[in-house]
Chains A and B, each alone.
Chain A
Amino acid sequence: MRIVDLYWLPQLAGIHQRLPENICSVDASWPDLVSVANSRLNFLQTNQLDRVLSKRGRTAGASHADVVAGTVRLAVLSSSTAEHLSAGIRVAGLRRSLAVEIYTGAYGQYMQELEDRNSGLRKFCADVVLFAFHAQHLFGELEVGLPADESGKLVESAARHIVATWRSARGLTSGQIIQQAVASSYPCLMGSNEHRLPGSGAALVDRLNERIRRLAEEEGVDVLAIDSCMARDGRDAWHDPGLWHSAKQEFSPLAGPAYGDLLMRLVAAQRGRSCKCLVLDLDNTLWGGSLGEDGLEGIQLGSGSALGEAYVAFQRYLHDLSRRGIVLAVCSKNDPVAARSAFDAHPEMVLRQADIACFVANWDDKATNLRAIAAQLGIGVDSLAFADDSPFERNLARRELPMVAVPELPEDPAYFARCIADAGYFEATRISSEDLARQDQYQNNLAREQLHAVHTDLAGYLQSLNMVLHWAPFAGVSLQRVVQLANKTNQFNLRTQRYTESQVLAIMQRADALTLQLRLIDRFGDSGIIGIVIGVLSGNTLRIDAWLMSCRVLGRRIEEATLNLIVAEARRLGATELQGEYLPTQKNGVVSDLYSRLGFSRVALREDGSSLWVLQMSDYVAIDAPIALKRSDARG
């Protein structure tokens, strides 16, 4: 059984069946509810959240205090049962901070309601009208042997009926009219060449949908492309013939959340509430591997590997998005010069620097950078979508900026484009010539002034990660990883000293040496060994020969926790002083100020830019870092 679900939204933490208790209370705040609505809810959870919403609405005054982006009065005029889709629609509204009121006409009664001046529909004062007709309602009993010209007339008369309802609805509202494309539930009579049988239901539905799209264009009506969705997700994911016979439900309740989201995208788009800008991470998002570590030649991009091809295909999709008016921006923890040059120097890059309206590569936290990007582009933070392969960065962005759309990208980049497309963040109902020229416009208008940094609660976020640094002296089982890390780490690497396996083994034998392998585990999982330290005792001084860390975990204050650990272990060896050295390379600028940040004093600055630093441990007070240290047995 295939179920359509909102797979691009994050799972609610610790969810099974019911929603968390605090959400179910009438005191739950609107932003809390919006945040729950932005998770991967199944239909039961959706119904439950909808009940919370409606109970809340009944408590007087509660809704007035809410920070609602807008209200929607939606009339659903359907030829089949549609009440069961209402919860999914209201929750999809909530997802966009829109408060939705729904009027559902009695099924099949929509013509009377449209005509009658005193009907409930008229009194409702809808600002959005949705028409949803099932094929049998439009075509009646089908005669398979129908000659071609007769079947043409059948399509035409169904189309005329639909246009007539649109025009009646125009008398009710100046707002948006949405026509659901006709869903085909007819089984094939011939097969692949079904279109050659004029009286085939499946063929008639295809022709009618084509007609509806053309007429909708003329009449200013928006189409809800349920036919495309059914083709994409499989008919069975949407339509259950058993439920059709028992309850006249054209769409299964299981598809309710997806139906609601699809509809509310259109409503939000018409109100200018679709995302305008897609902010992109670089490493492992636009290409495979890390630019800083692997270098321009080492990243995976382009022909030669399936993975490299997948990143190219994703870039091509992004390029197409930008050509149709979606602004692209970059937000990456990378060296700014190297990151920019990759766009123009790598022969397989589809995206070029000119395609990026705002390019931010630095070591700041990404929430701060996302705010800066929105400010620089002159759009709201709620107009941003943010694509990043790292769960850490995604969750930081969601926590700090819940109004930013952050899809749960699948692990395989081959599915990145599909995920972003399915999420519907950039839903548009019209395309203008301005859209097609937008990228240039942003590029030209770009303000270069220094942006004021807005405070991000990074400390609170880091605290919430429950990071534990499991440390141990080097051990045989993890030797390979230690050697690999020592030899490929370029950015957070103080001396960029390379080691062979036998050199490392020799160090491990020495009684006067300190070796530390650091493994990070947080609530998102195990990052493996992410850092190593090698120190050698000489008199009362412990000389730090190697201190390096994987760039994946920069910005989490692991260096502070590591220093606490080095000091404790150095004291155990009898040292009273630490000595560190910084040897600058093309790539390790990120640690040029590390020793100074950590309270070391500089004792020498050489002509080549290298420097020598000392820390007296007698007056060292452990730095308060949001990471627990734990001695572990030395497994890989």
Chain B
Amino acid sequence: MDKQKILSEIALIVRDVVDRPDLQISMQTTAENVKEWDSFNHINIVVAVEARFGVKFHTAEIEELKNVSDLVDLVWQKMNT
């Protein structure tokens, strides 16, 4: 799976979790850009992404995420090692 595909899958999850079906998500999107992306929803997004791709993030990796691009990279890296 390439990074664009991962991004589009993650976008589906984020829109679903924050309940904004028309939200635009790009690699540069950060939690701060999206009002509903609070700490509660952040956990749901991370857990849903893990379940969707069958990967598990380390506690430290989750803390280091700065934007959607980081999340996509992390998934890609987990799926390709």
- Residues of A whose CB lies within 8 Å of any CB of B are 1, 3, 17-18, 42-44, 47-48, 51, 83-84, 240, 242-243, 245-247, 249, 252-254
Contacts and interface: CB of A to CB of B under 8 A. Distances in A.
Contacts of A247: 39, 43
B34 interface: no
A253 B47 contact: yes
Nearest to A247: B43
Q: What is the interface of chain A mostly: helix, strand, loop, or mixed?
A: helix
B16 A48 contact: yes
Interface of B: 12-13, 16-17, 19, 21, 39-40, 43-44, 47-48, 50-51, 54, 56-59, 62-63
Given A48-B16, A246-B62, A84 B44 contact: yes
Given A17-B12, A17-B13, A51-B19, A1 B50 contact: yes
A245 B19 contact: no
Contacts of A84: 40, 43-44
Q: What is the interface of chain B mostly: helix, strand, loop, or mixed?
A: helix
Closest 6 CB pairs of A and B: A242-B59, A253-B47, A247-B43, A17-B12, A44-B16, A44-B48
B16 A246 contact: no
Contacts of B43: 84, 243, 246-247, 249, 253
Given A1-B54, A242-B59, A245-B59, A254 B47 contact: yes
A546 to B, nearest CB: 52
A249 B39 CA distance: 12
27 contacts: A1-B50, A1-B54, A3-B51, A17-B12, A17-B13, A17-B16, A18-B16, A42-B51, A43-B44, A43-B47, A43-B48, A44-B13, A44-B17, A44-B44, A44-B48, A47-B44, A48-B19, A84-B40, A84-B44, A242-B57, A246-B43, A246-B59, A246-B62, A246-B63, A252-B47, A253-B44, A254-B47
B63 to A, nearest CB: 8
Contacts of A43: 44, 47-48
B49 to A, nearest CB: 11
Contact of A1 (B19, B51, B58, B63): B51
Contacts of A254: 47, 51
A243 B47 contact: yes
B51 to A, nearest CB: 6
Contacts of B56: 1
Contacts of A44: 13, 16-17, 44, 48
B24 to A, nearest CB: 17
Nearest to B12: A17
B21 to A, nearest CB: 8
Contact of B17 (A3, A47, A83, A249): A47
A3 to B, nearest CB: 6
Nearest to A1: B56
Contacts of A252: 47
A83 B40 contact: yes
A3 B56 CA distance: 13
B34 to A, nearest CB: 16
Contacts of B13: 17, 44
A295 to B, nearest CB: 48
Nearest to B9: A17
Contacts of B58: 242
B39 to A, nearest CB: 7
Contacts of B39: 247
A42 B56 CA distance: 18
Contacts of B63: 246
Given A18-B16, A242-B59, A246-B63, 12 more contacts: A1-B56, A3-B51, A43-B44, A43-B47, A47-B17, A48-B19, A242-B62, A243-B43, A245-B59, A246-B59, A247-B39, A247-B43
B22 to A, nearest CB: 13
Contacts of B17: 44, 47
Nearest to B50: A1
A3 B54 CA distance: 11
Nearest to A252: B47
Contacts of B54: 1
A125 B23 CA distance: 39
A195 B54 CA distance: 36
A131 B63 CA distance: 31
A3 B52 CA distance: 12
Question: Which residue among A17, A48, A51, A247 has the maximum number of chain B CB atoms within 10 Å of its CB?
Answer: A17
A51 B16 CA distance: 11
A40 to B, nearest CB: 14
A334 to B, nearest CB: 43
B62 to A, nearest CB: 7
A51 B50 CA distance: 23
Question: Which residue among B21, B50, B63 has the maximum number of chain A CB atoms within 10 Å of its CB?
Answer: B50
Nearest to A236: B56
A246 B65 CA distance: 14
Question: Which residue among A42, A48, A252, A253 has the maximum number of chain B CB atoms within 10 Å of its CB?
Answer: A253
Contacts of B50: 1
A485 to B, nearest CB: 43
A240 B57 CA distance: 11
Contacts of B62: 242, 246
Nearest to A16: B12
A241 to B, nearest CB: 8
A84 B58 CA distance: 21
Contacts of B59: 242, 245-246
A607 B51 CA distance: 70
A57 to B, nearest CB: 15
Contacts of A1: 50-51, 54, 56
B71 to A, nearest CB: 15
